[in-house]
Homo-oligomer: A and B are copies of this chain.
Amino acid sequence: MEKTKFNQNQSVFKVGELPDKMYLLVKGSVGIFLPTNETNKPNFIIQENELFGEMGVIENELRMATARCLVESEIISITKDEFDKRVNNSDVFVKGCLKALSYRLRSVEKKM
């Protein structure tokens, strides 16, 4: 686990990158910009205490958007390995549901 300060306009990750971490916004504001967005207005705004970048890590897919700080921000990041450890230390029902949901999502997405 690592806590990092980001400047305004600094990117946390960019579209197309390999996802190695997921993030928790502790302080500030982060904009999510889809690749088709050429404006300065983000498609989504991450609020304080919100998680972001988690789907790339869970589904092991390249980043589908760019995350850029809208103001100076403080962000905690954890790696996939650290996340897996936290899952393994979780309550048996919580862990089981996380696995069931991932599995279900993958089966549903395969059918699309």
Q: How far is the CA of A101 from the CA of B78 in the complex (A)?
A: 18
Distance (whole angstroms) from the CB of A52 to the closest CB of chain B: 9
- Chain B residues closer than 8 Å to A93, beta-carbon distance: 22, 24, 51, 54, 78, 83, 86
Q: How far is the CA of A60 from the CA of B86 in the complex (A)?
A: 26
- Chain B residues closer than 8 Å to A97, beta-carbon distance: 22, 51, 54, 58, 83, 98
Q: How many residues of A contact B (CB 8 A)?
A: 29
- Chain B residues closer than 8 Å to A5, beta-carbon distance: none
- Chain B residues closer than 8 Å to A112, beta-carbon distance: 108, 111-112
Query: Is the CB–CB distance between A100 and B55 below 8 Å?
Result: yes
Distance (whole angstroms) from the CB of A76 to the closest CB of chain B: 9
